[in-house]
Amino acid sequence: MDKTSNTSPSTTMLTFALSLFILHLITSTTTDASSPYTPTDYFLLDCGSSSSSTSADNRTWDGDARSKFSPPNIANTSSPSTAEEQNPAVTQVPFMTARLFPSQFTYTFPVSAGPKFLRLYFYPATYSGRDNSKSFFSVSAGSHTLLTNFSAFLTAAGTVPRQPFLIKEFVISVNYNQRLDIKFDPSPNSYAFINGIEIVSMPNNLYIRGPDYPIPQVSQQQPFTIDNTTALETLYRLDVGGNLVPGKDDTGMYRIWRQDDPYIYGQGFGQTPHRDVTIRYTNDTPEYTAPATVYTTSRTMGKHNSVNLNYNLTWIFTVDSGFTYLFRLHFCEILQEVTRVNQRVFTVFLNNRTADPEVDVIQLSGDNGVPIFKDYVVWVPLGDNRRSKQDLWLALYPNMDSKPKYTDAILNGLEIFKLNQSDGSLAGPNPEPVGTTPEAPYPKSPEKEDSGASSPVLAVVGGVIGGVLVVAVMGVLIFRRRRRVRDSGPSVAKSSWVPISVTAGTSTSTKTNASSLPSDLCRHFSISEIRSATRNFTDDFMIGTGGFGNVYKGYIDGGATTVAIKRLDSKSNQGAREFQTEIGMLSKLRHLHLVSLIGYCDDDGEMILVYDYMANGTLRDHLYKTENPPLSWKNRLQICLGAARGLHYLHTGAKHMIIHRDVKSTNILLDDKWVAKVSDFGLSKTGPDNVAQTHVTTVVKGSFGYVDPEYYRRQQLTEKSDVYSFGVVLLEVLCARPAIVTGLPKEQVSLAVWGRYCMRKGTIDQIVDPHLMGQIAPECLRKFGEIVDSCLRDEGIQRPTMSDVVWGLEFAIQLQDAAERNKISGGDWIGIVGCHTMLSPATDDDVFSGSKSSGTSTLESGRRSENSYAAVGVGSENVFSQIVDPKGR
Ligand SMILES: *[C@@H]1O[C@H](CO)[C@@H](O)[C@H](O)[C@H]1NC(C)=O
Ligand SMILES: *[C@@H]1O[C@H](CO)[C@@H](O)[C@H](O)[C@H]1NC(C)=O
Ligand SMILES: *[C@@H]1O[C@H](CO)[C@@H](O)[C@H](O)[C@H]1NC(C)=O
Ligand SMILES: *[C@@H]1O[C@H](CO)[C@@H](O)[C@H](O)[C@H]1NC(C)=O
Ligand SMILES: *[C@@H]1O[C@H](CO)[C@@H](O)[C@H](O)[C@H]1NC(C)=O
Ligand SMILES: *[C@@H]1O[C@H](CO)[C@@H](O)[C@H](O)[C@H]1NC(C)=O
Ligand SMILES: *[C@@H]1O[C@H](CO)[C@@H](O)[C@H](O)[C@H]1NC(C)=O
């Protein structure tokens, strides 16, 4: 910033002054003074906006309408527009406004020489009535082509995990002319658009380190060097084994570090130990390299024993063929037991080739708690069939040559960058349109309230309800831990999804040996093993019972492992064949947030399933009708997020979509680390294979109070039915009351209906669990309410996907975190008075008589109370009158 531009000095000086001022403004308000790095260039442009606005992370974005960075004829060459869709997962700034370009358009930023992050924000919504799937355009920055014939719509649809918006991040070196031109160029007969542009400088040697830092190249003798003629695109930046680190919590460059679990092969291998050690940065790994939270969390293979020799700890990433990729692996030994050389040594493979035969983190770093990173370059050629996208494998495997103390591997963080081709281009093809998930376009903003047509959940109350509740309660599997399993150490999270197999010190008599492949993971148990695990099914070991049979707690592997054993009643309708099919399907599902099937037993005509044991029981056990202490709001948010991730995986992670069909608080279990796991998807239905068909027609099943009203009406099951039920669970978590409480005034009986009503009326704070008094930040509550409301929309098509819900919840957590950081005094955080008056028994019999006395599910339309309840949309149709086998699940 110390040089004047050779183009038009006066303008540039002015711009500099302005940008300095903005910079000053921004750094003084938002950059934490303690950030390890303070950017010298920092621009945030909210495109399509004419004023400056603050984003959810409290950064100030300038409108581009009168910006110095926009060309003077901006009004004649482009048009501002506002997104016509709203999505709870998409933040207002900078996503809700866009600038549309019918022809070439260039923004020019005055920046200092050196490497910069360029972030382009896209939200493919409808703007000015234009169908966004028809927008194709190219973007270049300086001499580098970043995107060619790019479709934000197709690219967003192809994201894993699916997200409704895109943030494309590039690393560009600016030369001494000190300007960065960003050019948008629509494809023929198309238009270009952009929602936001962010430019942030970075330390000189962070990624582009020049000839002094040769980088080993996979399968090549010559090392690779990256100089300032090369531009990079960030494809993945992961806080391995940890949580999302939002831009605000980065080291000053606003990089986002995401979770690695979507990319783990086998969905859930390994363990995620973390420890709050003080990370000691060094000259080689300065503090700005990555935030300490990245280094204090990790993923390892786990048990430190020879089981780990059966598999590679593997991540899989989709990349474009025909490019070179830079991998940066961040390591830090954080476990107390690893402090010396040759304790943990492992090999790094990239695309099945050895990238590094021997990584010994302590040897490289010198000590526990000292971070390091290692770079590798790998060339991904066009495949045989010249597919444009392919999978890139990163795998870690214990290196036994040096006879290390532990048989294990570790990774703390990962960044993957694409390097420009020799012609300077970074552009790859758009992803193929995705067909596996029938993705409805996101709804128009529902300015109009739903006409009073539906929300008939309430109608299920009545005579039917008693029996139903019994069934629902009987279906509950209660997993309670009686004694603690031998633990491997305080900092090693004992992970319950790791395949149970040879445990140190125990002999195994099983026929199958665990191997690395998920299909081999499902273990066959003999009936004698099961009998000895449960002391011959003694009642003392019984922890639950239901229509399907009983659930027992059991100890296997010589008592080392606690499991839950579900013995299906041989009289139950499920045939042995179905049982087999189910095992086949379930054993392939592995995810941190799903209760895993460990094995089965089909000897002697038995139908027995063996699952992970969940020490903390069901979510409901911690919400109401319980002696357990109340969960904190933060805990509740994390649990909801975990469960949402589990459902998202069911919907999109497997080959065929799986619809749970019975999402409720008793089917969300908690392990000893309070990690939420979705359970009981055994009777789930796989979704349609065929894209054209968007639903499965089935007999309505599910639990009362949770069932999607649309599913009732149409008998057609879509994944959005799970979204609805999950919305009810979110309300349960917020209000700590059951989905249905009979005996309340009728408008309050159904939590879904009542909660939505209160939200509309703005009285949601009055039904919040009093235990949460003073814990919920108002902005977080607002976001949470938005998510709930959108999940409970009457029409499935208007509800968000589980991916949107995941994003929304992550965002709510960020809001809560931000507010907690800024909270000085108790302030006006939700403090609740009298909210549980709603839980006192109803006195207004009149209101409720319609369903109470008749014992049918029909509501009487004429007798509503004075309040504006009708506006919520409780209609009087008889949609429920032909109800439903109450024994259905
Ligand atoms: C946002 O920044 C303003 C101005 O510095 C500050 O008053 C406010 O507390 C911040 N809010 C959040 C949520 O960080
Ligand atoms: C924009 O267009 C109007 C009329 O079409 C014209 O009068 C004006 O000079 C143009 N402005 C610029 C900056 O090109
Ligand atoms: C742009 O991509 C779309 C779909 O991927 C394709 O139909 C179209 O022909 C492409 N246009 C150009 C100019 O390459
Ligand atoms: C790019 O790198 C070369 C040599 O490494 C150096 O001389 C030059 O100053 C660099 N340019 C910029 C703009 O940093
Ligand atoms: C690596 O090996 C796996 C199986 O071991 C295979 O599926 C995958 O295609 C291989 N990847 C490459 C790039 O060869
Ligand atoms: C681990 O990956 C490497 C490279 O793909 C492969 O050679 C090796 O066989 C794998 N090991 C196991 C146990 O799968
Ligand atoms: C990136 O593009 C530039 C030309 O803009 C070229 O000189 C450089 O070699 C390219 N980098 C790589 C890694 O091919």
538-555 pLDDT, tens digit each: 887 888 776 567 888 888
Whether 220 has a pLDDT exceeding 60, the answer reads yes
Residue 630: which of 638, 618, 621, 617 has the closest Cα?
A: 621
In angstroms, the CA 850 to CA 857 distance is 9
Q: What's the predicted TM-score (pTM) here?
A: 0.57
Q: Provide the token pair at 279.
A: 């990370």
In angstroms, what CA-CA distances link 887 with 178, 467, 575, 739? 72, 8, 18, 18
Whether 257 has a pLDDT exceeding 70, the answer reads yes
Domains 35-202 and 262-420 belong to one CATH topology = yes
Whether 414 has a pLDDT exceeding 50, the answer reads yes
Establish whether the linkage from the previous residue to 246 is cis, with ω within 30° of 0. no
Q: Where are the alpha helices (DSSP H) in 149-275?
A: 152-157
Question: Residue 300: which pLDDT band, with cuts at 50, 70 and 90?
Answer: very high
Pocket flag, ligand 1, residue 58 (CB < 6 Å): yes
Pocket flag, ligand 5, residue 352 (CB < 6 Å): yes
Q: Which residues contact 67 (CB under 8 A, 6 or more apart)?
A: 45
Segments making up each domain of the chain, as ranges = 35-202, 262-420, 511-613, 617-881
In angstroms, the CA 99 to CA 670 distance is 46
Q: How far is the CA of 230 from the centre of ligand 4 (A)?
A: 11
Q: How far is the CA of 423 from the centre of ligand 7 (A)?
A: 6
Q: Report the range of poorest mean pLDDT among 205-214, 362-371, 559-568.
A: 559-568
- Residues 705-746 have pLDDT tens digits of 888 887 767 777 789 999 999 999 999 999 999 998 888 888
In angstroms, what CA-CA distances link 819 with 399, 572, 775, 776, 814? 46, 52, 10, 9, 8
In angstroms, what CA-CA distances link 573 with 547, 578, 584, 699? 10, 10, 19, 15
Q: What are phi and psi of 83, to 5 degrees?
A: -60, 135
Pocket flag, ligand 7, residue 140 (CB < 6 Å): no
- State the pLDDT at residue 457: 29
> Helix or strand or coil: residue 813?
helix
Q: Is 181 a catalytic residue?
A: no
- State the pLDDT at residue 745: 86
Residue 643: which of 628, 625, 622 has the closest Cα?
A: 622
Q: How many CB atoms lie within 10 A of CB 467?
A: 12
In angstroms, the CA 295 to CA 292 distance is 5
- State the pLDDT at residue 829: 63
Whether 356 has a pLDDT exceeding 90, the answer reads yes
Helix/strand/coil (H/E/C) assignment for every residue in 98-119: EEEECCCEEEEEECCCEEEEEE
Per the model's pLDDT, the better-predicted residue between 609 and 590 turns out to be 609
Pocket flag, ligand 6, residue 397 (CB < 6 Å): yes
Which of the listed residues 397, 399, 501 should we mutate to test ligand 6's pocket, taking the one with most ligand atoms within 8 A of CB? 397
Q: How far is the CA of 180 from the centre of ligand 4 (A)?
A: 16
Whether 836 has a pLDDT exceeding 50, the answer reads no
Provide the Cα torsion 256, 262, 265, 267; round to 10°.
140
Sheet with 179-186, strands from edge to edge, namely: 105-110, 179-186, 137-141, 144-150
Domain 511-613 matching CATH 3.40.50.300: the answer reads: no
Q: Relative to the CA of 352, which ligand 5 atom is closest?
A: 1
Q: Report the range of poorest mean pLDDT among 49-58, 168-177, 269-278.
A: 269-278
Q: How far is the CA of 224 from the centre of ligand 4 (A)?
A: 17
Buried/exposed 829-848: b ≥16 CB within 10 Å, e otherwise:
bbebeebbebbeebeeeebb
553: β partners: 564
Q: Relative to the CA of 187, which ligand 3 atom is closest?
A: 13
Whether 815 has a pLDDT exceeding 80, the answer reads yes
In angstroms, the CA 776 to CA 728 distance is 19
- State the pLDDT at residue 146: 98
Place of tokens 């949580």: 243
- State the pLDDT at residue 575: 61
* Element holding 611 (H helix, E strand): strand 607-612
Pocket flag, ligand 6, residue 352 (CB < 6 Å): yes
CATH of 262-420, one of 3.30.70, 1.10.10, 3.30.460, 2.60.120: 2.60.120
Per the model's pLDDT, the better-predicted residue between 823 and 263 turns out to be 263
pLDDT average, residue stretch 636-657: 89
Q: Provide the token pair at 206.
A: 């962070």
pLDDT average, residue stretch 470-498: 28
Residue 665: which of 708, 617, 597, 710 has the closest Cα?
A: 617
Pocket flag, ligand 2, residue 72 (CB < 6 Å): yes
Nearest ligand for residue 392 CA: 5
Residue with CA at minimum distance from ligand 1 atom 5 = 29
In angstroms, the CA 408 to CA 343 distance is 9
pLDDT average, residue stretch 177-187: 95
In angstroms, the CA 418 to CA 426 distance is 7
Place of tokens 């509501």: 859
Whether 370 has a pLDDT exceeding 80, the answer reads yes
pLDDT average, residue stretch 803-809: 93
Whether 179 has a pLDDT exceeding 60, the answer reads yes
Residue type, 19: S
Pocket flag, ligand 3, residue 136 (CB < 6 Å): yes
- State the pLDDT at residue 509: 30
- State the pLDDT at residue 309: 81
Q: Provide the token pair at 362.
A: 């302590």
- State the pLDDT at residue 8: 39
- Residues 419-438 have pLDDT tens digits of 999 999 999 999 877 543 33
Among residues 662, 708, 765, 794, which one is catalytic? 662
- State the pLDDT at residue 574: 55
% of the chain beyond a pLDDT of 90: 45
For ligand 4, which residues put their CB under 6 angstroms from it? 113-114, 173, 175-176, 210, 227-228
Q: Which residues contact 584 (CB under 8 A, 6 or more apart)?
A: none
In angstroms, the CA 877 to CA 2 distance is 73
Helices vs strands, H then E, count in the chain: 17, 36
79: β partners: 100
CB 291 within 8 A of CB 253: no
Pocket flag, ligand 3, residue 133 (CB < 6 Å): no
Whether 649 has a pLDDT exceeding 50, the answer reads yes
Q: Considering the chain, what is the average pLDDT of its residues? A: 76
CATH number of 617-881: 1.10.510.10
Which of the listed residues 145, 147, 187 should we mutate to test ligand 3's pocket, taking the one with most ligand atoms within 8 A of CB? 187
Residue with CA at minimum distance from ligand 1 atom 7 = 29
Nearest ligand for residue 73 CA: 2
Q: Provide the token pair at 28.
A: 């003084």
Whether 206 has a pLDDT exceeding 70, the answer reads yes
Place of tokens 């195994």: 508
**418 annotated binding-site participant:** no
Which of the listed residues 420, 421, 426 should we mutate to test ligand 7's pocket, taking the one with most ligand atoms within 8 A of CB? 420
In angstroms, the CA 473 to CA 383 distance is 54
Place of tokens 């590094």: 356
Q: Provide the token pair at 637.
A: 């948010």
Pocket flag, ligand 6, residue 349 (CB < 6 Å): yes
Whether 89 has a pLDDT exceeding 80, the answer reads no
Q: How far is the CA of 424 from the centre of ligand 7 (A)?
A: 5
In angstroms, the CA 264 to CA 872 distance is 43
Domain 35-202 matching CATH 2.60.120.430: the answer reads: yes
- State the pLDDT at residue 577: 63
- State the pLDDT at residue 571: 64
Nearest ligand for residue 352 CA: 6
Question: Residue 684: which pLDDT band, with cuts at 50, 70 and 90?
Answer: low
- State the pLDDT at residue 604: 82
pLDDT average, residue stretch 784-810: 93
- CA 101 from chain centre, in angstroms, equals 33
Pocket flag, ligand 5, residue 351 (CB < 6 Å): yes
- Residues 525-536 have pLDDT tens digits of 889 889 888 888
- State the pLDDT at residue 311: 83
Q: Relative to the CA of 309, which ligand 6 atom is closest?
A: 13
Query: What value, to the nearest 5°, has the Cα angle with vertex 601 and ends 600 and 604?
Result: 160
Nearest ligand for residue 309 CA: 6
